Amino acid sequence: MNVLPQTELLAHLDDTSLVIVDCRFQLGKPDAGREAYEASHITGAIYLDLEKDLSAPLDPDGYGGRHPLPDAAQLTGTLSRVGISNDSVVVAYDDQGGAMASRLWWLLKYLGHEKVYVLDEGFAAWVNAGRPVSAEIRTPEPAQFLATVQHNRLIEMDEVLEKLEEDGVKLIDSRDGARYRGEVEPIDKKAGHIPGAMNLFWGESRTADGTWKSQDEHVARFEQAGLAKDDEIIVYCGSGVTATPNVMALEEAGYTRVRLYAGSWSDWISYGENPIATGNEE
């Protein structure tokens, strides 16, 4: 289980091993998430910023994408500073359907931490249910987090390029259909997708009411897309953030060879010689 029901979190709010992390963030409004946290958050939660804490600084030459993967040592220091240890049970939440919280989930898994969950439905549902919130900014007691980096969870651009024609390799573009087809591109400098990629929008990991789909529903979704359990699956999006809910869903559906292209589309197009496709794949 990667997604935690709200009732489960409510029942364990007093657990000393629990660390709740507010991951709210709005693209184009970099201070909005922290301001929302300071106004009101789940009682006891600390805040981690997508761009300041969960990404590295932008590369001056434009490589690495819009949200480059943070250095493992730097991220380990950040986690330790906010009180996350190897014994912590981490629950991340946002109000963007789990997209930002899933970034923290993936980073912790990448560093070898298994006890991490995304809160189902997010902050708005927590508030609407009358569950405890606070504006108090908690100063966490530092802890020690030691990473065991899981390199098999990550793939870099050069290897993606090598695998484009390889049998048994499936690419998943997690962006919405219009961006995948290259019909619109509101963020990045070039439109389209990596040749051969299929389009599986990350939001389809949730039901119409915003709750996380069941394991059986995830299985049906990916089987319908033609994914086999022994496929090597590469998942990307615009900058490596909204791809992570698809990674979570794939793992819940029993796929074990899933890798994130963290730089994603914004990194891919920074190499002018890389091929670009538009429209739907046959």
CATH number of the domain residue 228 falls in: 3.40.250.10
Q: Are 115 and 208 members of one domain?
A: no
What does pTM read for this prediction?
Answer: 0.96
Q: Are 117 and 30 members of one domain?
A: yes
Average pLDDT across the chain, whole number? 96
Q: Are 130 and 158 members of one domain?
A: no
Domain endpoint, select from 87, 106, 134:
134
Q: Are 37 and 85 members of one domain?
A: yes
Of 4, 233, 237, 253, catalytic: 237
Look up residue 94 and give its two tokens.
């946002």
Q: Are 129 and 171 members of one domain?
A: no
List the beta bridge partners of residue 118. 3, 92
23 is catalytic: no
Q: Are 7 and 119 members of one domain?
A: yes
The answer to whether residue 50 sits within a structural domain is yes
The answer to whether residue 275 sits within a structural domain is no
Q: What is the pLDDT of residues 194-226, one digit of tens each?
A: 999 999 999 999 999 999 999 999 999 999 999
Q: Nearest 5 degrees, angle CA 18-CA 23-CA 26?
A: 170
Predicted pLDDT at 238: 97
The answer to whether residue 142 sits within a structural domain is no
Q: Is the pLDDT of residue 86 over 80?
A: yes
Query: Which amino acid does the sequence have at 241?
Result: V
The answer to whether residue 31 sits within a structural domain is yes
Q: Which domain holds residue 257?
A: 151-268
Predicted pLDDT at 1: 82
The answer to whether residue 276 sits within a structural domain is no
Q: Are 96 and 31 members of one domain?
A: yes
